[in-house]
A and B are shown apart, each in its own frame.
Chain A
Amino acid sequence: MRISSIVKYCIKRLAMAVIVLFLVTVVVFTAIRLAPGDPVIAKIGPYGDQSQENYDRIAASLGLDKPIPTQYFIWIGDCLQGDFGVSLRNNADVGELIGQKIWVSLELIIVALLLAVCMAIPLGILSAIKKGSVIDQILTVFSSSALAMPGFCVGLLLIVIFSVRLGVLPPNGYISFAENPKQNIRLLVMPAITLGLFEMAVFTRFVRAETIGILNSNFIRTVKAKGLSKTKIYFKHALKNTLVTFITVIGSEFGTLLGGTIITEQLFGWSGLGWFIYQSVMNRDYPVVQAGVLFVAVSFVIINMVVDIIYTMIDPRIELN
């Protein structure tokens, strides 16, 4: 009974996901072409041959001479067969380029989120249990402050302190873990902290509010009436509920970060997906932008779906749909 309803739900969600992805591809495909700045002209460059014939020839060689709907269907057809096209700038395979970048971004995001989660759960709960105390107030000020700082200011501060003043961490760059594990971690520290600090603030506030909500619920009040300590009850019965709701928040933050860490990546030269897509938007490298955004959207949709399903499976009180 339960399993079949989950299957049904999944199918429904999948159908919706396909519609959403279709909309995303259409939006991106059109948007990037609406933006002023022509990749054909960029290819010719300021000192190249400016004749119309040369323009037409290059446009044709890039496949940009056809009407936009035709281009769209050619592209989406190729994508469905796993061919994401080649970069307009240098003919490099787009699938391969994006593939390289995904792992780079994932490493940063996962470490930052782990950092944030590990800090946020104890701090959030502590803050809720000791609500109104000095600790709670310090933590609240801290998380509110972290949310109010533009991300790159935090990053710059870290660079100035740890790279320039203390000279203990390299300020910029990326080396894969396989190539040089030690250097990889040294390079990861600052971007992960920059990103993690913000996420930690978001999470701490969430865990705190959620915990306070549960501590004030009728359930806990009833049990408390029986003479048990509030905190004990919380850890015994209610912690699970907090964590279950927490998963959805982590999931949606994860989706937002994938491709959304542009500023941090650029600041620290951590050459991940977000920065790469951004650069490709600036270069009007249509195939890279399209494939990059498609990948991000697919991941986002899948993550949210999985999170929702896990959520409902862990917590039987919540109805599917």
Chain B
Amino acid sequence: MKIKRVKATTIGALVVVFAAILMAVVPSLLATHDPLEMDMVHKLQGPSAAHWLGTDEYGRDLWSRIVYGARTTVAVGFGSAALSALLGIPVGLIAGYAGGITDNIIMRFMDACQAFPSILLAILVITILEPSAVSLIITISIVSFPAFARIVRSNVLSLKKREFVEAARAFGANRLYIMFRTILPNCISAITVEFSLLAATAILLEAGMSFLGLGIQPPKPAWGSMLSYANQYLNQSVNYMLVPTITIFLVVLSVNLVGDALRDWFDPMKLK
């Protein structure tokens, strides 16, 4: 077996994802200003030595807001992917493993969740929960866990007839053991790939919801809400618009690329 060569783009993508996570974990080390500190006189400025990426409509430092915003955005992205996994994996496992009427009932619920567009469902859910970061995570998870459940289920369906599962059953292992200890570890590649895709989608969905005025509450920074505020100042400062746009673009692109790389890594045959 040869050691696989890792593509330069994958390394780049990993660096970006790592940087975003670093910002989220220790923003105070990277930020140059208090992200809430206002300076109305110096509003909507371009990049300068004092403000690396310029300032927003309150004269707040954009670099520091991006850094602190990473916390919310990364939390929304990975939090909703994690919550979807937490909901989707057991549901998919049970549906796939139990089969029959249980499967049918569960899958009809999943169908119902997916029978209307995710953005519409998200809007319905967020109007009930009232906008905040936690609501966004819950909303996005509700919208995306059925897809997760489906993928786990289809993996389970193909795995459950395999010899090692039959063997475990023959040894008298109970259902839970088989589901979680025998089958689940073999779904891990599909789960990891779906996880990264969902995290990327969640970041974009946060931007979309903010654009519709359903994002997180001010003055807390988050990339999506920065973008939707910047949109109002498009006519005055293009810089303000570009900063969150490029940040979101780079991070989402990187998360997707990492996901692609993971898929190639887990499934060398398919994309070779």
- Which residue numbers of A lie inside 8 Å of B, CB to CB? 16, 19-21, 23-24, 27-28, 31-32, 34-37, 144-145, 147-153, 156, 160, 209, 212-213, 216, 256-260, 262-263, 266, 274, 277-278, 281-282, 293, 296-297, 300-301
Asked whether A263 and B208 contact (CB < 8 A) given A257-B117, A281-B123, A296-B120, the answer is: yes
**Can you list 10 contacts pairing A with B, beta carbon distance less than 8 Å?**
A19-B108, A31-B128, A37-B127, A144-B257, A145-B253, A147-B256, A152-B211, A153-B227, A259-B120, A300-B115
Asked whether A274 and B117 contact (CB < 8 A) given A150-B248, A153-B245, A281-B123, the answer is: yes
Q: Is the CB of A277 within 8 A of B204?
A: no
Q: Is the CB of B127 within 8 A of A16?
A: no
Q: Is the CB of B124 within 8 A of A32?
A: yes
Q: Could you list 19 further interchain pairs (A-B, Cβ under 8 angstroms) beyond the known A20-B111, A278-B212?
A: A16-B104, A21-B115, A27-B112, A36-B130, A37-B127, A147-B200, A147-B252, A148-B204, A148-B256, A150-B208, A151-B208, A152-B207, A156-B234, A216-B269, A262-B212, A263-B208, A274-B117, A278-B123, A300-B114
Taking the nearest CB of chain A, how far is it from the CB of B161, in angstroms?
15
Residue of B nearest to A26 (CB): B112
Residues of B within 8 A of A277 (CB): 120
Q: Is the CB of B253 within 8 A of A144?
A: yes
B119 at the interface (CB under 8 A from A): yes
Q: Is the CB of B211 within 8 A of A263?
A: yes
Asked whether A297 and B207 contact (CB < 8 A) given A144-B257, A213-B270, A278-B123, the answer is: no
Asked whether A148 and B108 contact (CB < 8 A) given A35-B124, A256-B118, A300-B116, the answer is: no
Asked whether A20 and B117 contact (CB < 8 A) given A148-B256, A150-B208, A150-B248, the answer is: no
Residues of B within 8 A of A296 (CB): 115-117, 120
Asked whether A28 and B124 contact (CB < 8 A) given A145-B253, A149-B249, A150-B248, the answer is: yes
Residues of B within 8 A of A281 (CB): 123-124, 127
Residues of A within 8 A of B109 (CB): 23
Q: Is the CB of B117 within 8 A of A24?
A: no
Residues of B within 8 A of A145 (CB): 249, 253
The dominant DSSP class at the A interface is helix
Residues of A within 8 A of B41 (CB): none
Q: Is the CB of B128 within 8 A of A150?
A: no
B181 at the interface (CB under 8 A from A): no
Q: Is the CB of B231 within 8 A of A156?
A: yes
Taking the nearest CB of chain B, how far is it from the CB of A12, in angstroms?
10
A-B contact count (CB 8 A): 124
Mark interface residues in B192-223 (1 if CB within 8 Å of A CB, else 0). Answer: 00000000100010011001100000000000
The distance in angstroms between the C-alpha atoms of A257 and B116, with both chains bound, is 9
Residues of B within 8 A of A27 (CB): 112
Taking the nearest CB of chain A, how far is it from the CB of B93, in angstroms?
21
Residue of B nearest to A30 (CB): B128
B21 at the interface (CB under 8 A from A): no
Residues of A within 8 A of B128 (CB): 31, 34-36
The distance in angstroms between the C-alpha atoms of A31 and B122, with both chains bound, is 11
Selected from A21, A151, A209, A256, the residue in CB contact (under 8 A) with B270 is A209
B38 at the interface (CB under 8 A from A): no
The distance in angstroms between the C-alpha atoms of A150 and B271, with both chains bound, is 27
Asked whether A258 and B117 contact (CB < 8 A) given A150-B211, A278-B123, the answer is: yes
Residues of A within 8 A of B245 (CB): 149-150, 153
Give B29-51 interface residues, CB cut-off 8 Å to A: none
Q: Is the CB of B253 within 8 A of A148?
A: yes
Taking the nearest CB of chain B, how far is it from the CB of A264, in angstroms?
10
